[in-house]
Amino acid sequence: MSRLTGRTAVITGAGRGIGKAIAERFAAEGAKVAIISRTEANSNATAEAINTAHPGAAKGYAVDVSDSAATAALGKQVLADFGSVDILVNNAGVTRDGLALRMSDEDWDVVLDTNLKGAFNLVKAFQRSILKSKTGRILNVASVIGLIGNAGQCNYAASKAGLIGFSKSLAREFAGRAVTVNAIAPGFIVTDMTNELNDQQKEGVLKQIPLGTFGDAVDIANTAAFLASDEARYITGQVIAVDGGMVM
């Protein structure tokens, strides 16, 4: 696998779960990867694991993506370390679930600031380098919840629906420089969140999935690797649902 050889990718929320799986796959495809997480412990752990298999491929960084100034400073550091960035994967995300009638301003703001504003901050930090790249790619990890909504997640659904609109608008703006921008909408993927569901809850979710099983982070990583490669050069402004048929 060498579809991304010679390219540098920045991946947020890469300390664990889907982001980590994407980073590992990109490194296996030959890319250099900047691992972004809220904590140094998580980002460095992912970078070390990748470097064990692919020496010198990864470096870890810690930042709160909702912080515009901190993200801008991070961008300068990553560019100083790697020289350029070709691929950006906005994967960082949080949840603060609750019914709209009881949702606090803080719970709304934290989710929108991280999931949506965070993606905007990262694009601002790296857009010049990506626009100069002959293989520029931006991938935004949304969610099927952004397509269909979900009771108790109006903040999360709004952030992911916003991320889809953001992706489509950027795709139009950046197309003139041959930069593609797409969104991936995962369904129920085996993560820390799904592990917290009890058997009855899992059974209820599985009834909504035609393929009858949860997805794996590798399923998202496979899709991301394809969209970041030359094979997907003519795909932009799209939302790719990776959900076992949950949303059709």
Q: Are 137 and 86 in contact (CB under 8 A)?
A: yes
Is 158 assigned a ligand-binding role in the annotation?
Answer: yes
Structure tokens at 57: 């491929």
The SS3 assignment for 215 reads strand
* pTM > 0.85: yes or no: yes
234 is catalytic: no
Structure token digits, residue 46: 């992912």
Q: Which DSSP symbol is given to 135?
A: T
Q: What are phi and psi of 234, to 5 degrees?
A: -105, 20
Q: Which pLDDT score is estimated for 104?
A: 98
Q: Is 160 annotated as a binding residue?
A: yes
Q: What is the percent of the chain with per-residue pLDDT over 70, rounded to a whole number? A: 98
90 a known binding residue?
no
Give the 3-state secondary structure of residue 175. Answer: helix
CA dihedral 239, 27, 194, 159 (to 10 degrees): -40
Catalytic residue among 126, 156, 188, 214: 156
Q: What is the 3-state secondary structure (H, E, C) of 10-35?
A: EEECCCCHHHHHHHHHHHHCCCEEEE
Residue 68 corresponds to which tokens in the numbers above? 């515009």
Nearest to 96 by CA among 35, 147, 146, 159: 159
Q: Does the annotation flag 159 for ligand binding?
A: yes
Reported as a single tens digit per residue, the pLDDT across 199-233 is 898 899 899 999 999 999 999 999 999 999 999 99
Give Rg (Cα) of the chain. 17
- Tell whether 151 is in a known binding site: no
What H or E segment, with its residue span, contains residue 137? strand 137-141
pLDDT(103) > 90? yes
Domains in the chain, CATH or no CATH each: 8-242 (3.40.50.720)
